[in-house]
Chain A
Amino acid sequence: MILALALAFGMVGWALEVAHPVFFAREPVVVWTLPGEPNPKLFLHDALWPAAWTCYEEEGRLRWEADLRDAPLGIWIVCGQDCFSFLRVSEDYGLVEVHNVPPGLEITLGEKTHLTDSRGTTFFLVPSGIYSLETRVLGTRLKKQVHVYSGKREKVVWISASVKPTSSWAIPGTRIGMTIAAQTEFDLPFLPVEISLPPGWEGEPGPDHLFPVHKETSALRTWYISVPKDAEPGEYLCTFTVLGFPVSAKIRVAEKLTPLVVVGHWDVRKNELDLASPFSLTFERALWAASLLGQPVPYTDEIMTSELLFEILQRWVSEGG
């Protein structure tokens, strides 16, 4: 849910947000507003509805809830800074919500076919039963059985994905790694990823990128990103669209690194910096750091002092060294 909200927030940045486009009669209507935004107002047939809202702060926003259990069903509009229309339906129907789908993809549930919207979501309001949720991606027909119960909301998260860089810091001319973690509702022949990098940056998939993806298990895939030699120091955004679902990581390019980052990414065997490997303080790296005592630490402006070494060793110990 937080993922979906973050997605909506990140993509469009609207102030007013409503939990669902369709609510069941017994469900409270949930709305978020930004601090300073007008309090939400509910309208039914253009007339202000005297709703009793409860409100509390949630992750920097205000979460509003209104119990409309005895209010008429149908189309409602809630307005803060913007307005949002939603549908209230009886519990005679069941609801299938599909999230995190590539925008504009055709999704079929039973005999109904919907196109996902710009936020990569769609929904189906259907009688209870067992339905086949189908779509076609990369020439492959994807299918999932969905049990729909009256008055229940069945949420299908097409894909959950996240990206984590091996290092948030880089220097011009180095290569860093990006680990994409993805979980889908379907078996896929491979994990399709589209990358969007700053100009001059290059990306290369790891050897695992053509491995098949099994549904409901986490698939980890690596991408290697090369920072151009002439990259100016600054903050850069690397975006990976995983099966239509965008995830991003920020990389800070600097001329010099901190001694801890250098030690944690030092390839002791090759005696060189390897930002593409995950950060880790090992016995060998701690030993290498000790060997530098009194000497400059490469890629930094610092000398390995006994105090700095003590700090690095303490960190190594605390990480289970």
Chain B
Amino acid sequence: MRTLVILLSLGAVFAAQAAEIRFDPEPKLLGKFQIVVEGVQERSGKVWLLNMASGKLWELPLVLEGAVLKTPVLQAVRACDTPDEDVKAIEIASAGDTLVAATELGCGLSVTQKIGPREGNPAFEVQILSEEGWMRVCTLSTGRFRVLLRAPFLDRTCDPDPLPGGLVLQVGNERKTVSLRESGPTTGEFVFEFQGKLELDREKAELIYRMEWAEESWSFPALCQTVTFHSAWEKEHTPWENVKLELKVATLEVTVGPMAVFLPTGCRARIDLLRPEEPDEVLWQVSGWGWVSGKTLEIAAEEPALSLPNFPYALLVQVFARAGANWGKAQIAITVVERPHISFVNPESKEKLESLPADASFKIRVEKAMGLADEILKVRLGKLGLHPLPKEVELRRVGEGIYESDPLNPREWQARPGDFLWAELEYPAPITCAIATLLPLR
């Protein structure tokens, strides 16, 4: 204590002199520094260095280097640190201790400096536990994960230091704060381990990402989701800005064909799962009506029984596929349209024919064929019974959803009175549809 008083007195007496004493660079935990005296006549001398927190005092020689006097290289270390071999260890309790350096040279000089925190930029890293150990990842999926926050400046003491403000997990506007401590006495690292899991919530027909750690868990919709990990220390702790890391939840890539379908009532559409090629589980759901499994979905739009819906109306098909522990989802938009109408018509009046003389001409007309982009629609025509002579006839678009053939004659099918001609609309894939009509000949 007496030494301290002397140091402070010296400081007070000689403060006004031109000579200077300073730390070079400013001392930091585990950082190397020297005490430099300049602007004095002496070519050697001593410096007293006092740790005001512990009261420990060091007498350090000053040696002339060029035009300045310098102490040996010093290193601020705690009891738990191992100093470098070529330095003089200056023991401190923790970062933030105050050091006072004083010398009698230059009619007495002194300087006071707090021990700064450890050097090193704060940074986040997320790793997954694989067969090769912890591997860095940039997405979240199913597995054991750890979030590593490297913040050496938060390693202040020889005990595992707390992470000020904790680790904040953020999904959308939802936040959770996890309290963390340094992973070891001097690591300067904070580790948050969790089990990540993609799950299918059948009730909500939604993919869920579940994070489980300690005795807590947090789940949220997984699709197109980003999880943000960020620090929340306050400025008073450090000059460092808070850091954050955003990771997307990676779901399985699921593709189906087709992605959009115009489905006439009474028809079926076949939707195939294209990727993954060898899924372990595939589940389909149509607008919330139960679940169907299998790589292919056959969907039929039944004729409305009691109430006629307003056409068109939309159905949403969702497919969830799993490969291993990874789930993915795709959506297919189904637009249910009115059933197209096919008829044999009078070539001139376009009126529907109920029957036709076996030698008279007719046209085939399709109406309400919605959702077809082609200018040409194909219809098969034949005779019911023996020797059907089926032929493909092209119909041209003549209006919105309306297609018509050129004039045709039953003779092309060797049809006689009493026979029936049939016409069947060949709906383009993936639609399977029995849209057919018969024409009795007289």
Residue of A nearest to B426 (CB): A45
Q: Is the CB of B418 within 8 A of A87?
A: no
Selected contact of B432 from candidates A72, A84, A104, A122, CB within 8 Å: A72
Contacts of A92 in B (CB 8 A): 303
Interface flags for A9-42 (1: CB within 8 Å of B; 0: not) read: 0001010101001000000000000000000000
Looking at B158-166, B315-323, B383-391, the stretch in contact with chain A turns out to be: B383-391
Selected contact of B386 from candidates A46, A84, A87, CB within 8 Å: A84
Distance in Å: Cβ of B263 to nearest Cβ of chain A? 14
Total residues of chain B contacting the partner, CB 8 A = 30
Give the distance in Å from the alpha carbon of A21 to the alpha carbon of B355 in the complex. Answer: 18
What are 8 A-B contacts defined by CB distance under 8 Å? A21-B385, A74-B436, A75-B390, A83-B386, A83-B387, A92-B303, A113-B354, A115-B355
Whether A215 sits at the interface, judged by CB under 8 Å, is no
Contacts of A257 in B (CB 8 A): none
Q: Is the CB of A86 within 8 A of B387?
A: no
Selected contact of A74 from candidates B383, B388, B418, B434, CB within 8 Å: B434
Selected contact of A115 from candidates B385, B433, B435, B441, CB within 8 Å: B441
Contacts of B384 in A (CB 8 A): 21, 85-87
Q: Is the CB of A45 within 8 A of B440?
A: no
* Sample of 4 more A-B contacts, CB < 8 Å, known A111-B354, A114-B355: A74-B435, A85-B422, A87-B384, A115-B418
Q: Is the CB of A115 within 8 A of B442?
A: yes
Contacts of A74 in B (CB 8 A): 424, 433-436
Q: Is the CB of B355 within 8 A of A14?
A: no
Give the distance in Å from the alpha carbon of A113 to the alpha carbon of B354 in the complex. Answer: 8
Contacts of B438 in A (CB 8 A): 87, 125
Give the distance in Å from the alpha carbon of A14 to the alpha carbon of B125 in the complex. Answer: 81
Contacts of B418 in A (CB 8 A): 103-104, 114-118, 122
Give the distance in Å from the alpha carbon of A73 to the alpha carbon of B425 in the complex. Answer: 12
Contacts of A45 in B (CB 8 A): 380, 426
Distance in Å: Cβ of B424 to nearest Cβ of chain A? 5
Q: Is the CB of A75 within 8 A of B417?
A: no
Whether B329 sits at the interface, judged by CB under 8 Å, is no
Question: 3 closest Cβ contacts across the A-B interface?
Answer: A117-B418, A74-B434, A85-B388
**Known contacts A72-B432, A85-B422, A103-B418: A114-B387 contact under CB 8 Å:** no
> Which residues of A are at the interface with B, using a C-beta cutoff of 8 A?
12, 14, 16, 18, 21, 45-46, 72-75, 77, 82-89, 92, 103-104, 106, 111-118, 122, 125
Interface flags for B349-392 (1: CB within 8 Å of A; 0: not) read: 00000110000000000000000000000001011111110100
What total count of A-B pairs have CB within 8 Å?
Answer: 87
Give the distance in Å from the alpha carbon of A67 to the alpha carbon of B419 in the complex. Answer: 26
Residue of A nearest to B267 (CB): A72
Give the distance in Å from the alpha carbon of A92 to the alpha carbon of B419 in the complex. Answer: 24
Give the distance in Å from the alpha carbon of A86 to the alpha carbon of B382 in the complex. Answer: 10
Q: Is the CB of B419 within 8 A of A85?
A: no
Contacts of B118 in A (CB 8 A): none
Contacts of B420 in A (CB 8 A): 21
Contacts of A118 in B (CB 8 A): 416, 418
Contacts of B436 in A (CB 8 A): 74-75, 87
Q: Is the CB of B441 within 8 A of A84?
A: no
Distance in Å: Cβ of B373 to nearest Cβ of chain A? 21
Distance in Å: Cβ of B297 to nearest Cβ of chain A? 15
Distance in Å: Cβ of B106 to nearest Cβ of chain A? 104
Q: Is the CB of B422 within 8 A of A82?
A: no
Q: Is the CB of B386 within 8 A of A14?
A: yes
Distance in Å: Cβ of B441 to nearest Cβ of chain A? 7
Contacts of A14 in B (CB 8 A): 386
Selected contact of B388 from candidates A84, A104, A112, A114, CB within 8 Å: A84
Whether B28 sits at the interface, judged by CB under 8 Å, is no
Whether B268 sits at the interface, judged by CB under 8 Å, is yes
Give the distance in Å from the alpha carbon of A21 to the alpha carbon of B422 in the complex. Answer: 11
Residue of B nearest to A120 (CB): B418
Selected contact of A117 from candidates B354, B382, B390, B416, CB within 8 Å: B416
Residue of A nearest to B440 (CB): A114
Contacts of A73 in B (CB 8 A): 434
